[in-house]
């Protein structure tokens, strides 16, 4: 085991009895055996905690903790505080990973002598369609390049999962308690703290696309946290890397568009909707002129500025195509 350091896999859990066993089974199947599976139940009202305890009886690598409900960020922070591994990875309880998930992440990290590592993920839709965005790699990126790719959504996203971190990085980095989209507030900081990041070309993490998840359910005022978290990230990045100002603005603009999309089928909030559209128009010029900005973003920005009703129709068609559904004429 000396050449296989302990890896802590932290799973924050809240009312996911329907999906939890699938997640745990995928962790039991890991080919990298020197792991501890840290299951932290955040005050679930369903059978989630009992499922955790049952699995702990079957495998000594499982450690179960139960705490008063405090949200995903608080649960992840707790998991980090009790983790005993030299390395840390996060897996959400309704997701699942390939058998060589940890082996792959650790392998590319050691091979490149990087500070941390990233693998790709696949979106799994209810209709059976699987969407995988493979990276043209593998590659080893410095902090600046990794942050830049994150700002442009270039095969690197802000999700805390599908990554392997050194445990020491979380001594100074914490997830903001009580906020949604807490990944955004932490992931870029791990990049800034890293000398190099190994980015793998293969997808080892599966993300079932569910519309009742925090990311995909209907709009509420808490969803505005996305904008706040992104603006904080942009402000901090520009201090460290001033040359990434336009890239940072692109990411902020994307947050406004994404929040607007959350409001597509929601009545009310008209004042907020108008404010978002106004802000998109205000920020759009440098992003439209940026040749690195995704075409998808530029089309969205143009349509929103031209006619929001037309944009809404285009967005619905885009979603159907993305999920592999039939588009009616």
Last residue of a domain, one of 208, 231, 250: 208
Task: Examine residue 254 and state whether it is found in any structural domain, yes or no.
Answer: yes
> Do residues 298 and 189 both lie within one domain?
no
Residues 139 and 264 in one domain: no
pLDDT at residue 214, as a whole number: 47
- Look at residue 319 in the predicted model and tell me its pLDDT: 79
Q: What is the DSSP track for 16-45?
A: -TTTHHHHHHHHHT-SS--EEEEEEE-S-S
Mean pLDDT of the chain: 92
Indicate if 146 and 203 belong to the same structural domain: yes
Q: Is residue 203 part of a domain?
A: yes
Residues 245 and 166 in one domain: no
Of the residues 208, 239, 261, the one at which a domain ends: 208
Say if 2 falls within a structural domain.
no
- Distance between alpha carbon 111 and the CA centroid of its chain, in Å? 25
- Give 10-residue mean pLDDT values along the chain (329 residues): 87 98 99 98 98 98 98 97 99 98 98 96 88 78 96 86 98 93 95 97 91 58 93 97 96 94 86 95 94 91 93 86 59
- What integer pLDDT is reported at residue 142 of this predicted model? 97
Percent of the chain with pLDDT over 90: 78
In this structure, is residue 215 part of a structural domain? Answer: no
Domain containing 200 equals: 7-208
Do both 70 and 17 map to the same domain? yes
How many degrees, rounded to 5, is the angle at CA 98 between CA 7 and CA 106? Answer: 35
Same domain as 232, residue 163: no
Same domain? For 33 and 117 the reply is yes
Same domain, 28 and 138: yes
The packing angle between helices 48-58 and 20-28, to 10°, is 20
pLDDT for res 301: 94
The residue out of 173, 208, 243 marking a domain boundary is 208
Question: What integer pLDDT is reported at residue 94 of this predicted model?
Answer: 97
Looking at the structure, do residues 183 and 268 belong to the same domain, yes or no? no
Answer yes or no: is 259 within a domain.
Answer: yes
- Output the pLDDT for position 31: 98
112/236 same-domain check: no
Q: How many helices (H) and strands (E) does the chain have?
A: 11, 10
Query: Do 114 and 228 belong together in one domain?
Result: no
Q: Tally the domains of the chain.
A: 2
């Amino acid at each position: 085991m000396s050449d296989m350091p302990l890896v802590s896999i932290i799973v924050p859990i809240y009312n996911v009895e329907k999906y939890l066993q699938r997640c745990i089974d995928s962790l039991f199947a890991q080919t990298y055996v020197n792991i501890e599976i840290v299951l932290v139940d955040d005050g679930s009202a369903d059978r989630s905690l009992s499922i955790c305890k049952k699995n702990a009886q079957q495998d000594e690598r499982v450690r179960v903790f139960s705490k008063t409900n405090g949200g995903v960020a608080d649960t992840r922070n707790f998991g980090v505080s009790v983790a005993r591994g030299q390395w840390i990875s996060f897996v959400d309880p309704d997701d699942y990973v390939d058998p060589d998930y940890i082996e792959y992440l650790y392998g590319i990290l050691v091979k490149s002598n990087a500070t941390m590592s990233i693998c790709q993920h696949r979106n799994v839709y209810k209709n059976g369609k699987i969407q995988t965005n493979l990276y043209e790699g593998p590659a080893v990126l410095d902090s600046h390049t990794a942050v830049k790719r994150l700002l442009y959504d270039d095969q690197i996203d802000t999700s805390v999962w599908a990554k392997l971190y050194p445990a020491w990085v979380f001594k100074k980095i914490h997830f903001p308690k009580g906020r949604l989209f807490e990944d955004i507030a932490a992931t870029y900081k791990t990049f800034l703290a890293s000398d190099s990041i190994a980015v793998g070309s293969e997808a080892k993490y599966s993300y079932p696309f569910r519309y009742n998840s925090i990311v995909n359910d209907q709009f509420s005022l808490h969803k505005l946290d996305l904008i706040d978290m992104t603006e904080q990230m942009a402000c901090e990045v520009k201090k460290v890397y001033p040359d990434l100002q336009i890239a940072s603005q692109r990411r902020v603009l994307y947050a406004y568009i994404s929040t607007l999309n959350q409001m597509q089928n929601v009545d009310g909030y008209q004042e907020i909707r108008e404010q978002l559209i106004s802000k998109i128009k205000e920020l759009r010029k440098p992003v439209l002129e940026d040749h690195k900005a995704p075409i998808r973003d530029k089309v969205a920005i143009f349509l929103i500025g031209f006619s929001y009703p037309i944009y809404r129709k285009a967005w619905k068609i885009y979603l159907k195509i993305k999920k592999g559904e039939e588009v009616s004429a």
